[in-house]
């Protein structure tokens, strides 16, 4: 049977912008590893954002009037509130210390802005365009190394009723990120009901297990033997996310009158 | 660097109750694999439920009055609605074909009841007590093979704003399922700030990638080299889940008056 292996790639801490592809290539070589056809490279969204210079000095951020209101509602610094407003596609609501927002189509606390693993007083945003970042990295590997790989941009995220964060795909390139099983039969010949599998999320979580959250310095994981289908067409954001008006969780939980049956 | 390997274990389709441990042991041996100290065994919750005879003939289910109401509200068969009411710890609300419920502390569509990969006209419930099932399997491996392993009971689940299902941990035994990183780094300092990692969820998603949803017949995955800490104390349900009154997603989304800032 086919086995899947996750190979962690340690990368020295960088400050300021850097060349993402060159940095990854050198780290892989230094570790005596290589990138092969069919590999999926899981790369931390924070690492990509850093390479793009998406680290903001909070002191340099001037909050607008709306940000001052959001800051008071969520009990967060007004500079952070300003960044959340700038970054978010939509803001749902707040709890102390917590702003639930939509960014890159995903429901995500604080619009994906994080203040950990960056210098004190700074915040790090999501990559500007994660789909483009993933596709560029995929093409650089194809052109420079001649290898057809997939790339997934990973983040760690809290999920409803769960303790602790798990890995999720912010963007993907070069592989079938969602498997459509509609019309397929199950073991007993039933036509499948839950019919799509978020393969990019599964692989992101597997990679997240190795990446850690603190000082591990493992922003890249090579996933080998996944058997995922390598493709050339672009993987769009809409391949991974649905609108919040279609999301069954958001629709169910935000119903004005919730009927409790038990 | 340490690599993590996921080894899929194919198991022939079974009907009726069966001995979970013996079945897994034989399948592992037939495949020429073995179980080693430090392995984490990911086992599908549906496979465990089948071994426990938790397959229900829907025709045999007599709906109560509340189930008839739920059936009408959710546009699902009344027999399925009855099972959901029996199984759920709490029911939130409904959409056509969809009942959002809490089961084993997790927010989960249809209280975890599924009608795929069982005989037509039947439904399969979650294992009766997934924590106990995981712990029993762990101890059987310890006693019979002398190996100290972890066990995680996995399911696939839709997540907010995502297309497709990803793997999640229903229960765990024998390893530190959540890593507590509080105090390890200087974060927001707010109560809501995320400082724990759902390792059991990460590993479940990695295993889910290999298990598939249709006719793959891979209900078990051996995860080797994860480096997760093997423990003897029981992993409680409360190690994995928080109450819905504490969940930031549920609290944010179910606020009666949602203020939109942008």
Q: DSSP letters of A63-74?
A: --HHHHHHHHHH
More confident residue, B233 or A134: A134
In this prediction, residue A215 has a pLDDT band, given cuts at 50, 70 and 90, of low
Cβ separation of B217 and A260 shorter than 8 Å?
A: no
Task: Say if residue A214's pLDDT is above 60.
Answer: no
pLDDT of B124 reads 93
In this complex, do A209 and B194 lie within 8 Å of one another by their Cβ atoms? no
Instruction: Give the per-residue pLDDT at B213.
Output: 63
The share of chain B scoring above pLDDT 90, in percent, equals 71
Predicted confidence (pLDDT) at residue B70 exceeds the cutoff of 90: yes
Residue the block writes with tokens 């004005």: A256
- Is the per-residue pLDDT at B3 higher than 60? yes
- Average confidence (pLDDT) over A174-187: 79
Q: Which of A124-138, B12-26, B178-192 has the lowest mean pLDDT?
A: B178-192
Distance CA A222, CA A230 (A): 15
Helix (H, G, I), strand (E, B) or coil at A154: strand
Q: Cα distance from B143 to chain A (closest Cα, Å)?
A: 27
pLDDT band at B187 (very low <50, low <70, confident <90, very high): very low
Mean pLDDT of chain A: 90
pLDDT at residue number A257? 47
Q: Classify residue A251 by burial, with Cβ atoms within 10 Å: 0-12, 13-18, 19+.
A: middle
A119 versus B161: which is more confidently predicted? B161
Q: What is the dihedral of CA B246, B153, B103, B234, to 10 degrees?
A: -60
DSSP line for A96-128:
TTEEEEEETTEEEEGGG-B-SSS-TTEEEPPPS
Q: Nearest chain B Cα to A115, which residue?
A: B187
Residue in A145, A162, A32, A54 with CA at minimum distance from that of residue A103 = A54
Residue A156 in contact with residue A167, Cβ under 8 Å? yes
- Chain A hits for B206, CB-CB cut-off 8 Å, are 4, 6, 202-203, 205-206, 209
- Looking from the CA of B142 toward its CB, the CA atoms found within 13 Å total 17
Where are the CATH 3.30.1330.100 domain residues in chain B?
1-45+127-262
Q: Which class would CATH give B1-45+127-262?
A: alpha beta
Chain B's closest residue to A31, CA to CA, is: B1
pLDDT number for residue B259? 55
Residue B32: per-residue pLDDT:
97
Q: What is the mean pLDDT of chain B?
A: 89
pLDDT of residue B43: 97
pLDDT band at residue B192 using 50, 70 and 90 as cut-offs: very low
Inter-residue contact B187 to A115 (CB < 8 Å): yes
Give span(s): CATH 3.90.1660.10, chain B: 55-125
Residue A262 CA to residue B126 CA, distance in Å, equals 19
Q: Is the pLDDT score of A73 beyond 80?
A: yes
Q: What pLDDT score does B191 carry?
A: 37
State yes or no: pLDDT of A188 exceeds 90. no
The answer for residues whose C-beta is within 8 angstroms of residue A11's C-beta and 6 or more apart is A23, A24, A27, A47, A217, A218, A219, A220
pLDDT of residue A244: 84
Distance set, CA A124 to CA A58, A102, A169, B71, B245 (Å): 10, 17, 18, 47, 30
Q: What pLDDT is attached to residue A185? A: 63
The verdict on a CB contact (< 8 Å) between B261 and A109 is no
Instruction: Judge: B5–A5 Cβ closer than 8 Å, yes or no.
Output: yes
> Are the Cβ atoms of B261 and A69 closer than 8 angstroms?
yes
pLDDT-based confidence at residue B249 (cuts at 50, 70, 90): confident
Q: Which residue has the higher pLDDT, B87 or A179?
A: B87
- Look up the CATH architecture of domain A1-51+128-262: 2-Layer Sandwich (3.30)
Q: Is the pLDDT of residue B185 over 50?
A: no
Q: How far is B38 from chain A (nearest CA, A)?
A: 15
**Residue A93 token pair:** 């609501």
Q: Which has more confidence, B15 or B139?
A: B139
Residue B183 burial (CB count, 10 A): 8
Pairs across A and B, CB distance < 8 A = 339
Does position A196 have pLDDT exceeding 80, yes or no? yes
Residue in A with minimal Cα distance to B171: A162
Could you tell me which chain A residue has the CA closest to the CA of B104? A161
The pLDDT of A206-235, averaged and rounded, is 90
Q: What is the DSSP letter of B105?
A: T
With 90 as the cut, is the pLDDT of residue A255 above it? no
pLDDT of residue B85: 95
Work out the pLDDT band at A120, boundaries 50, 70, 90: confident
At A75, is the secondary structure helix, strand, or coil? coil
The fold of B55-125 is CofE-like fold (3.90.1660)
Q: State the pLDDT at residue A259.
A: 54
| pLDDT score for B256 | 55
Give the strand pairing for A40-44 and A150-158: parallel
Among A221-225, A235-239, B6-10, whose mean pLDDT is lowest? Answer: A235-239
Out of A52-61, A137-146, B9-18, pick the least confident.
B9-18
On chain A, the residues whose CB falls within 8 A of the CB of B260 are 90-92
pLDDT in the model for residue B189: 41
Longest dimension (CA), chain A: 61
What b-and-e string marks burial along A98-113, b requiring 16 or more CB atoms within 10 Å of the CB? bbbbbbbbbbbbbbbb
pLDDT category of residue A12 using cuts at 50, 70 and 90: confident
Give residue-wise pLDDT tens across range B205-222: 999 999 976 566 899 999
Average the pLDDT over each of A43-47, A105-109, A132-136, B115-119 and give the range with the smallest value: B115-119
Average of pLDDT values for A154-172? 93
pLDDT score, position A44: 96
Looking at chain A, the domain(s) classified CATH 3.30.1330.100 span 1-51+128-262
Among the partner residues A192, A196, A210, nearest to B4 by beta-carbon distance = A210
pLDDT of residue A222: 98
Q: Do A253 and B3 touch (CB under 8 A)?
A: no
What is residue B232's predicted lDDT score, i.e. its pLDDT?
A: 93
**Cross-chain residue pair B158–A186, CB shorter than 8 Å:** no
Tally of CA atoms within 13 A in the half-sphere of B58 that contains its CB: 17
A124-133, A157-166, B178-187, range with greatest mean pLDDT: A124-133
């Amino acid at each position: 049977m086919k086995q899947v292996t996750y190979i962690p790639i340690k990368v020295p801490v960088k400050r300021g912008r850097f060349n993402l592809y060159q940095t990854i290539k050198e780290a892989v070589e230094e570790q005596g590893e290589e990138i092969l056809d069919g590999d999926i490279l899981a790369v931390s969204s924070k690492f990509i954002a850093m390479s793009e210079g998406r680290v903001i000095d909070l002191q340099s951020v001037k909050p607008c009037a709306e940000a001052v209101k959001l800051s008071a509602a969520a009990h967060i610094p007004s500079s952070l509130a300003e960044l959340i407003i700038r970054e978010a596609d939509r803001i749902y609501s707040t709890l102390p210390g917590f702003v639930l927002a939509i960014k890159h189509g995903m429901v995500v606390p604080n619009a994906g802005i994080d203040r950990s693993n960056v210098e004190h007083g700074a915040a790090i945003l999501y990559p500007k365009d994660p789909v483009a970042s993933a596709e560029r990295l995929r093409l650089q590997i194809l052109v420079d190394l001649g290898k057809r790989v997939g790339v997934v941009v990973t983040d760690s995220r809290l999920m409803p009723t769960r303790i602790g964060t798990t890995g999720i795909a912010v963007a993907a390139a070069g592989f079938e990120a969602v498997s459509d099983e509609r019309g397929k039969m199950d073991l007993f010949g039933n036509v499948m009901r839950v019919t799509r599998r978020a393969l990019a999320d599964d692989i992101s979580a597997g990679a997240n297990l190795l990446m850690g959250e603190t000082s591990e310095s493992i922003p890249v994981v090579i996933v080998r033997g996944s058997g995922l289908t390598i493709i050339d067409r672009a993987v769009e954001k809409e391949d991974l996310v649905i609108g919040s008006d279609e999301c069954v969780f958001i629709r169910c939980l935000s119903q004005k009158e919730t009927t409790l049956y038990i």
